[in-house]
Amino acid sequence: MQQHSGDTLLVDGYQRRFEYLRLSLTEQCNFRCQYCLPDGYHPDRTNQFLAMPEIKRVINAFSELGVKKVRLTGGEPTLRRDFTDIISSIADYSSIKEIALTTNGSRLYHNIAQWKDAGLTSLNVSIDSFSPQQFALITGENKLHQVMRGIDKAFEVGMAKIKINTVLMRGVNDDLSYCLPWLKEHNVDLRFIELMETGEGQSYFKRYHMSGEKIEQQLLKQGWQLMVKEGLSGPAKVYQHTDYLGRIGLIMPYAKNFCQSCNRLRISAIGKLHYCLFGDSAIELRDLLSNDGQKILLQQRILNSLKMKPETHFLHQHDAGITQNLSFIGG
């Protein structure tokens, strides 16, 4: 089953097209972010994460259906010992044009050169605060310096697309002056992601959630201008300013019509297809990942299930579906 002339077969009932797959490689993490894994990662022996041959079959099936961009996420994906090999094996598929990583940055400094050589094309690093003390309070790890060194190294080795993910928290990082000096000198996109309510994170959400619109108002007042969207860029609104090398993006999942521009599908670390980050079910794929002979069945299951993708999430009604926290699916 192969798409024609670069077009995707992955289209849902609302005419949304999917060329972008987020693949979670593990639920394990070495940080304890307050809004995600405040008590750290607790291994669940029943959960075996996708092995390399299974990962290859997932990528093969989706690339033939029209996926062109893969993001590796987790948990902390870089904790996997075979992480570099995973990048290389995805890079072998010529139809995959972009291999992206979302990471907490703890392993960046020592490894970014080899990841880039293996085929990594873009990098998102999560930094919720540029204050070392606050960073440690949020993540449970006093590692801001280490993460920043890693970002410098990523620039040094020539990573072209670097983005910073910042989860927006009321009273913590909602004052732009904390990041503006850094953005003056660095050619990155810093994206504020509105804190999302998860099954385990309800009280944190109540205390810290704020709308990205407040940041947007500050930006407009200071002369920032909305940029036109690029091809696979997804639902972020991105602002630029002539005095700054960097840009500021806003991801506002509670905004009206947010789901209309949904362009991504997600595979959890245990091989389930989630067509919404906050859906109330997931499609088992693993039984079709044990050998190459089941590829057509796998692709049919993916295409059939896509028809069930709902028009929107129900976060407004405080319904996070089956999502207890984002460490199993990668945000």
CB 21 within 8 A of CB 70: yes
Q: Which is nearer to ligand SF4, 104 or 129 (CB)?
A: 104
Strand partners, 167: 193
| SS3 state at 10 | coil
Residue 198 binding result from ligand SAM, ligand SF4, none, given CB thresholds of 5 to 8 Å by partner type: ligand SAM
- Residue found by looking up tokens 């998102």 in the block: 124
Residue numbers 53-92 binding ligand SAM by CB under 6 A:
73-74, 76
Whose Cβ is closer to ligand SAM: residue 8's or residue 233's? 233
Q: How far is the CB of 326 from ligand SAM (least distance, A)?
A: 4
CA dist 13 → 9, 68, 214, 311, 312 (Å): 12, 21, 33, 8, 12
* Binding mask of the shown chain, residues 32 to 71, with x at each position contacting ligand SF4 by CB under 6 A: xx--xx----------------------------------
Q: Which does 103 bind (CB under 5 to 8 A by kind): ligand SF4, ligand SAM, none?
A: ligand SAM
**Contact between 326 and ligand SAM (CB under 6 A)?**
yes
Min CB(77)–ligand SF4 separation in Å:
9
How distant, in Å, are the alpha carbons of 201, 204, 283, 328 from that of 210? 15, 12, 32, 24
236 binds ligand SAM (CB under 6 A): no
Q: Does 125 bind ligand SF4 (CB under 6 A)?
A: no
Residue 218 main-chain phi, psi, to 5 deg: -60, -40
The partner in contact with residue 165, picked from ligand SAM, ligand SF4, none with C-beta cut-offs of 5 to 8 angstroms by kind, is: ligand SAM
What's 315's DSSP letter?
A: G
- The interface with ligand SF4 within residues 97-116 (CB under 6 A) comprises 104
* Chain centre distance of CA 207: 24
- Helices then strands, counting H and E runs in the chain, come out as 9, 12
- Residue 331 near residue 73, CB atoms below 8 Å: yes
- How many residues bind ligand SF4 (CB under 6 A)? The answer is 12
